[in-house]
Structure 1
Amino acid sequence: MPLNSLLRRLAMDLTPLRTSRDFRLLFTATGVSGLGSFVTYVTIPYQVYALTKDPLLVGLLGVCELVPLLFMAFVGGALADYLDRRRLVLGGEIGFTLLCGTLLVNAMTDRPHLWLLYLVAGLTAALDGVQRPALEAITPRVVTPDEIPAAGALNSMRMNVVSLAGPALAGVLIASVDLGWVYALDLATFAVSLTLLMVVRAVPPPTAADRPSLRSVVTGLRYAGSRPELLGTYLVDINAMFFGMPQALYPFLAERLGGPAVLGLLYATPAAGAMVAALTSGWVRHVNRHGLMVVLAAGAWGAAILGFGLAHALWLALPLLALAGAADEVSGIFRGVIWNQTIPDHLRGRLAGIEMLSYSTGPLLGQLRSGLTARWTGISGSIVSGGVLCVVGTVALAAALPGLIRYDGRTGRARKEAEEAAWATAGLSRTA
């Protein structure tokens, strides 16, 4: 294959940004506000540390965030299938703006309130649980089915950029200005995102949408359980993150690999690898065996983490971490394609809530597992065993869910169209 043709095949597909006005607006709005949110994400734990000097009290922030998220993701998913999704996203952004303003006022007082930081952290997680399913469910409505792989890669690239730039910017600001100015920057980013979101066209709910209720949530769960390829994407990702997420051990590894200066590199390298994978993701639009790619990418993640655990030199550890980040990015892109190309619109919000739980809980539990395992097997033993178990678990899940391996995107899209047509016909019958 000529080099020019190869480069065109690998180059990131920018078609959704060219063809969809609303996707451009959403992409820019979430990118700008995401940058500010990552700044605040770093600043709140730092402020708790500055006020208490107690690592346990800093760690309690995670509990404050996880508990409301576990509940509100289901609520947000049900709402996203009943209300205008654009209004839900806009309402969430307004709520984030008010919470950021609260942090700003608190930081400007002579004696900032510690309890208020925990309250804002919990409310932010709850709002995220409401907003994110609606945001995820908007994508299939503002781009064509053929553009969904490219839209997923673009969204992943945006997240990688802000997850790299946000913490770095936070570090510079915390070291150079008062915390009030740090929160003021986040507040300014919300002003930009709100302006852009207000001109996004409405995304009304599907015909005869289910009213939010426990029954509607159960309907979403049953649908997810009836689709082996969907169930497989959730379980494969949870397995990969639970066994192969060693972030809790980075401070100990940094001490062994070169000291505190290495710590930032360990955190940044997976995101750098993911960004490279996103920028060279043009090839994904030519693949139809999406489930197989999810399994292969999860296995590659586990193998890379296994190698990382065995590496005793920085020059070898960092490329393996970058490879792990790239594999996770590929897995994420294809999981998103399966979700957005095949889930019928009247269930998309509820399934987005389930997806949110699958990719949020795995990393948190994985850090707990790696820390506990390290107490008995040592740092390297914890990482190596996690990588091995990740690969073994991925193979076992693939064997238990052959529908995931056999899944073909063309069949999935045809089924989605048939299910949406049947739902619309039934809705007309109910309202007649």
Structure 2
Amino acid sequence: MTQPVDPQEGGAPVEEPVPAPVRRRGWTIDTTPLRDPGYRRLFWGIATTTIGQQMTLVAVPFQVYALTGSSFLVGVTSMVALVPLIVFGLLGGAIADAVDRRRVLLVSSVGAAVTSALLAAQALLPGGGNLVLLWVLTAAVSAFTAVNSPARYAVIPALVGPAGVPAANALAMTVRQIGVIVGPLVAGLLIGLGSLFAAYAIDAVGFLVAVLLLRGLPPLPPGRDAGPLRLRATLQGVWEGFAFLRTQPVLLMTFVVDIIAMLFAWPQAVFPELSETRFEGAPNALGWLFAGISIGALAMGLTSGWVSKVDRQGAVVIVSIAAWAVAIIGFGFAPTLWLAVLCLAVAGAGDMVSAVLRSAMLQLAAPEEMRGRMQGVFIVVVTGGPRLGDLRAGGLASAAGVTFAMASGGVIVVLAMVAVALLVPSFWLFRASRATGSERV
């Protein structure tokens, strides 16, 4: 593994400290990483920004529809946010591997705070805002978030040590699921009270709190020496990341299996149709369908103590994705709302296990100098996959029905996981205890 650099010794390599063993906690979520003051600051930074970000994700499409009355333009807004997320997710990963990651976190958090404050200000404009300005600010906050995310997850191994990575990921992803559930509910309440400004302002305040927390982090230099940050060097860094990824079958498959799961079995596009047809008359059917996956993910996060004990991470990822797919098949056939939500919750639990372990595999198996770029690709995959899945599910459901769209996709995912286990045995056999972060895996 690449030795860290002590900035007080003129860049001389120092011995990497041996991480303290992680305390085992059975089934309850493992909170051991919170003992580390640096990770504790990072965790609460994530917690303070997640709810606000989810509120903005509700407020922006609501405001677009209020301004235009067009669902098509609401869809265009989604693409306005997605493009910078992809572009700056990749660039942000390269930046996180070229400069101090603490600096990246601070600058991107300040940028997001300022942009969210501007979103709040434009909500007060006469007529309820301006569509073009709203799009520009939406793209900007998406770009700052995309730069922030790779650095945020790339620093986890340096803060908690390799043994603490799975538990740290579980904590971060669990608090995110709480935000996914709470944020939209609070945003809906504020919007219902006529306070769109407050929904954006809370997001800005959350980022400001995160800045204050992140200032207390120690310097977090990348695992390599780098010159001044330049666009050409950053683009070269992105290319080097993809070139490295092609030589690493295990790391590559962490992305491939997630794309397969999301492309063929992401169900969100069929929720509106089901709420208006199969589950018509059920109280708040649409809300329960949208909450189903997050409910299961949150429940799994709160009982994820066992995840930090998993050594055969590749095998468990494959099994958990297969469980996701089987649950989606059940969802496609579910005749009642409660059974559909239960299937979605099971799917969300499987996805949570997969996400925690795939992120841990990236952080453990990638060398320090590549972790930012690998997390950049991770952000692009987990963001773009569901949108491609929406396109497939919506189109197939329109042509052949919801049940066929969901069941056929689930079957494809199960068969694909069997194929991955047989054709890429290095992924199936991957063990966290053997990951060095510097060897080809």
Work out whether the TM-score is over 0.5. yes
Paired-residue identity, %? 38
Distance 1:181 1:128, change over 3 A: closer
The question of whether the paired residues in 2 share the 8 Å contact of 1:270 and 1:324 is answered with: yes
The question of whether the paired residues in 2 share the 8 Å contact of 1:38 and 1:163 is answered with: yes
Partner of 1:257: 279
Equivalent residue for 1:342, pick from 359, 362, 365: 365
1:15-414 correspondence to structure 2 within 5 Å: 15-18=32-35, 20-111=36-127, 112-209=129-226, 212-255=233-276, 256-259=278-281, 261-413=284-436
The Cα offsets for residues 301-326 of structure 1, whole Å up to 9 and x where unpaired, read as 01100011011112321211110000
Q: Residue 257 of structure 1 aligns to which amino acid in structure 2?
A: F
The secondary structure found in structure 2 opposite 1:265 is: helix
The question of whether the paired residues in 2 share the 8 Å contact of 1:301 and 1:323 is answered with: yes
Alignment partners' CA distance in 2, 1:44 and 1:305: 29
Alignment RMSD (CA, Å): 1.6
Alignment partners' CA distance in 1, 2:210 and 2:326: 39
Q: Note the residue ranges of structure 1 that are not aligned, 5 or more in a row.
A: 1-6, 420-432
Alignment partners' CA distance in 2, 1:209 and 1:392: 44
Partner of 1:427: none
How far has the Cα of 1:257 moved from its partner?
1.5
Alignment partners' CA distance in 2, 1:360 and 1:397: 22
Please report the TM-score for the alignment, with normalisation by the length of structure 1.
0.91
How far has the Cα of 1:44 moved from its partner?
0.6
The Cα offsets for residues 1-23 of structure 1, whole Å up to 9 and x where unpaired, read as xxxxxx941111110002x1011
Structure with more helix by fraction: 1
Alignment partners' CA distance in 2, 1:36 and 1:218: 33
How far has the Cα of 1:275 moved from its partner?
1.0
Partner of 1:424: none
How far has the Cα of 1:242 moved from its partner?
0.5
Alignment partners' CA distance in 1, 2:395 and 2:439: 48
Partner of 2:11: none
How far has the Cα of 1:63 moved from its partner?
1.1
Q: Residue 127 of structure 1 aligns to which amino acid in structure 2?
A: F
How far has the Cα of 1:417 moved from its partner?
5.5
Partner of 2:3: none
Alignment partners' CA distance in 2, 1:213 and 1:184: 33
Please report the TM-score for the alignment, with normalisation by the length of structure 2.
0.90
Q: What is the aligned length? A: 410
The secondary structure found in structure 2 opposite 1:389 is: helix
The Cα offsets for residues 306-362 of structure 1, whole Å up to 9 and x where unpaired, read as 011011112321211110000000101110111111211111111111111121111
The secondary structure found in structure 2 opposite 1:294 is: helix
The question of whether the paired residues in 1 share the 8 Å contact of 2:109 and 2:208 is answered with: no
Q: Residue 330 of structure 1 aligns to which amino acid in structure 2?
A: V
